[in-house]
Amino acid sequence: MMSRVKQIAMAAGTFSVALGIGFVMQNGDALANRFGLEAPDGAPVDRAAGIAQVAAQGPLPAEAHSGPSLAASAPTVPELDAALALPNTTRAPETATAPVHLAALETDTVPQKPGAATTEARPSGDACKVSVAGTPEKAATVAVQVTAPCHAETPFVLHHQGLQVSAITDSQGRAAVDMPALAPTAVIVAAFPDGAGGAGTVAVPDFDRFDRAVLQWRGAPDLMLSAYEFGADFGDAGHIHRRNTGNAERALSGEGGFMMRLGNPEAGDAPHMAEVYTFPSGQHDRGDIALVAEVRITDANCDASLAAQSIQVRPDGATEALDLSLQMPDCAAVGDYLYLQNMFEDLKLAAR
């Protein structure tokens, strides 16, 4: 077993339960309605009906472009004290580059300021329409394609059932991002800083075969999600994390789950980042999986405020969210790790 790093205990963190995850659901629906979303033929209509009931006119407010502060996104609810400490057997893996896939295309033109040299005008109207398309992939994931001809090399945010992921378009305003589905009909919205955006839906036929756990944050905090499958210890094959992600084939075979790291760290000053663990609970009837959230203390996040959120989605679509807000330790603790207790409920498959 690997030696423990320095243990840190804190009681300054405050967790609040986002009851019914009402905000994150309604926010996504309002965004989808703003961009004229329609449900695909044959898709479940409950979420599309909810979207149709939300009215939104004009440009999106600023909070919809960049996403609200995670710590402030939930309704006001009773607060629970939470302790932070290192686990006895876990240590955070090293950082890896976020997998955001972009196509390499040619450069687009941009408008000039009044009085500047004349150049080709930027398209407008339908020529600038943002489109969002998605294709269901194996293990309840979705391949998302965003096309925004008038937003070349521009950061934007993908919204899906409370999950927020930052990405950047290429030189022709296109981007491709793979992400997990958090609903049987995946409503996906792309929102740009100037209020432009688009939405699409994707039916996910194998949604009910998987459990999902999301850990998301913004900016510098280097958060990490680990899944310890069936009693695995740190570094074992069953310890799934950013350096041992597993893959969809592992899930499809019933062997275990896999991890996806989402978000582009170059997409603005405080990009939306996430790690998502997916487990094929439809193929298992026994065993426990421990879900552990940790944060590495670095020069970039020491002595700063941390806001993060966890989301768990069951195979039946039941969703739970939990927000975290805390003050990080001072910079004398750089190099150590915090264990964020109570962010997730462990998966107990035998109890289902």
Given pLDDT bands bounded at 50, 70 and 90, which one contains residue 180? very high
Given pLDDT bands bounded at 50, 70 and 90, which one contains residue 220? confident
Of 71-75, 93-97, 197-201, least confident by mean pLDDT is 71-75
Q: What is the pLDDT of residue 204?
A: 96
What are the residues whose beta carbons fall under 8 Å from the beta carbon of 253, sequence distance 6 or more? Answer: none
Q: What is the pLDDT of residue 126?
A: 80
Most confident of the following: 64-73, 204-213, 332-341, 343-352: 204-213
Closest CA to 46 of 183, 155, 178: 183
CA distance 202 to 225: 27
Given pLDDT bands bounded at 50, 70 and 90, which one contains residue 125? low
Question: Does residue 39 carry a pLDDT above 90?
Answer: no
Q: pTM (2 decimals)?
A: 0.70
Q: Are strands 319-327 and 10-17 parallel, antiparallel or unpaired?
A: antiparallel
State the Cα torsion 27-29-30-33 to the nearest 10°.
160
Mean pLDDT in residue range 125-150: 94
CA distance 319 to 58: 31
Task: Tell me the pLDDT tens digit for each residue of 226-283.
Answer: 999 998 999 999 999 999 999 999 999 988 999 999 999 999 889 999 999 999 987 7
- For the chain, the farthest-separated pair of C-alpha atoms sits apart, in whole angstroms, at 70
Eight-class DSSP state of 244: B
Instruction: Name the average pLDDT for the chain.
Output: 74
Question: Does residue 127 carry a pLDDT above 80?
Answer: yes
Q: Is 324 helix (H, G, I), strand (E, B) or coil?
A: strand
Mean pLDDT in residue range 196-220: 94
Given pLDDT bands bounded at 50, 70 and 90, which one contains residue 81? very low
Q: Are strands 163-168 and 155-160 parallel, antiparallel or unpaired?
A: antiparallel
Q: Tell me the residue length of the chain.
A: 352
Q: How many beta carbons lie within 10 A of that of residue 318, not counting itself?
A: 9
Closest CA to 192 of 144, 243, 157: 157
Task: Tell me the pLDDT tens digit for each residue of 15-36.
Answer: 333 333 333 344 555 555 555 5
Q: How many beta carbons lie within 10 A of that of residue 341, not counting itself?
A: 15
What are the residues whose beta carbons fall under 8 Å from the beta carbon of 227, sequence distance 6 or more? Answer: 213, 239, 240, 241, 257, 259, 277, 279, 289, 290, 291, 292
Mean pLDDT in residue range 152-167: 97
Q: What is the pLDDT of residue 238?
A: 92
Span between the terminal Cα atoms of the chain, in Å:
32
Token pair of 232 as six digits: 């695995």
Of 6-10, 166-170, 276-280, least confident by mean pLDDT is 6-10
Question: Does residue 7 carry a pLDDT above 60?
Answer: no
Give the type of residue at 138: K
Eight-class DSSP state of 283: G
Q: What is the pLDDT of residue 300?
A: 86
CA distance 316 to 104: 39
Give me the half-sphere count of Cα atoms (radius 13 Å) on the Cβ side of residue 79.
13
Q: What is the pLDDT of residue 187?
A: 96
CA distance 321 to 259: 19
Token pair of 110 as six digits: 């941009």
Q: What is the pLDDT of residue 4?
A: 35
Of 211-225, 279-293, 327-341, least confident by mean pLDDT is 279-293
Closest CA to 85 of 18, 11, 158: 11
Question: Does residue 170 carry a pLDDT above 90?
Answer: yes
What are the residues whose beta carbons fall under 8 Å from the beta carbon of 165, sequence distance 6 or more? Answer: 157, 158, 177, 179, 262, 263, 272, 273, 274
Task: Tell me the pLDDT tens digit for each residue of 45-80.
Answer: 343 333 333 333 344 444 444 443 443 343 333 333
Q: What is the pLDDT of residue 112?
A: 42
